[in-house]
Structure 1
Amino acid sequence: MATGNGGVIFSEGENWREQRRTAIHIMRGKNVMEAQVKASMDEFMKHLDSIKDKSSVDFRWPIQILVANVINEVLFGYHFRFDDCKRLMDYADTLTAQIEAVRKSVLVQLAMQFPWIARLPEIGWLAVGQHRKSSSRLLEHVRSDVRRCEKSFSDSGEPACFVHAYMQRMPKNDFLTW
Structure 2
Amino acid sequence: MILRDFGMAKNLMGERVHSSVAEYVTHLQNVKDKDYVDIRWPVQVMVANIINETLFGYRYAYDNCQPFMDYVQDTKKLFENLAESKGMLLGMFLPILTRLPVTEWYTCRRFKQSVNKLKEYIIDNVERVLEAYDVEDEPTCFVHAYR
TM-score (ref. length: structure 2): 0.88
Shift of 1:135: 0.7
Q: Which residue of 2 aligns with 1:28?
A: 4
Is 1:61 equivalent to 2:41 in the alignment?
A: yes
Structure 2 counterpart of 1:153: 133
Superposition map of 1:14-93 within 5 A: 25-28=1-4, 30=7, 31=9, 32-93=12-73
* Cα separation, 1, equivalents of 2:109 and 2:129: 31
Whose helix fraction is larger, Structure 1's or Structure 2's? 2
Q: Deviations over 1:112-154 (max 9, x none)?
A: 4544322223321111111111111100000001101211223
The answer to whether the Cα contact below 8 Å between 1:111 and 1:117 also exists between their aligned partners in 2 is yes
Residue deviations 1:19-65, cap 9 Å, x none? xxxxxx42135423212111111111111001111122111111111
Q: What is the TM-score when the length of structure 1 is the normalising length?
A: 0.74
Unaligned runs of 5+ in 2: none
2:88 to 82, 94, 108: 108
Higher relative CO (Cα under 8 Å, sequence separation at least 6) belongs to 1
Task: Tell me the distance in 2 between the aligned counterparts of 1:158 and 1:89.
Answer: 31
AA of the residue aligned to 1:164? H
**Structure 1 residue runs without a partner (length 5+):** 1-24, 168-178
SS at match of 2:140: coil
User: How far apart are the structure 2 equivalents of 1:166 and 1:107?
Assistant: 37
CA RMSD of aligned residues (A): 1.6
Give the equivalent residue in structure 2 for 1:6. Answer: none
**Count of matched residue pairs:** 143
Q: Which moved more, 1:102-111 or 1:70-79?
A: 102-111
Please report how far the alpha carbon of residue 104 of structure 1 lies from its aligned counterpart in structure 2 after TM superposition. Answer: 2.3
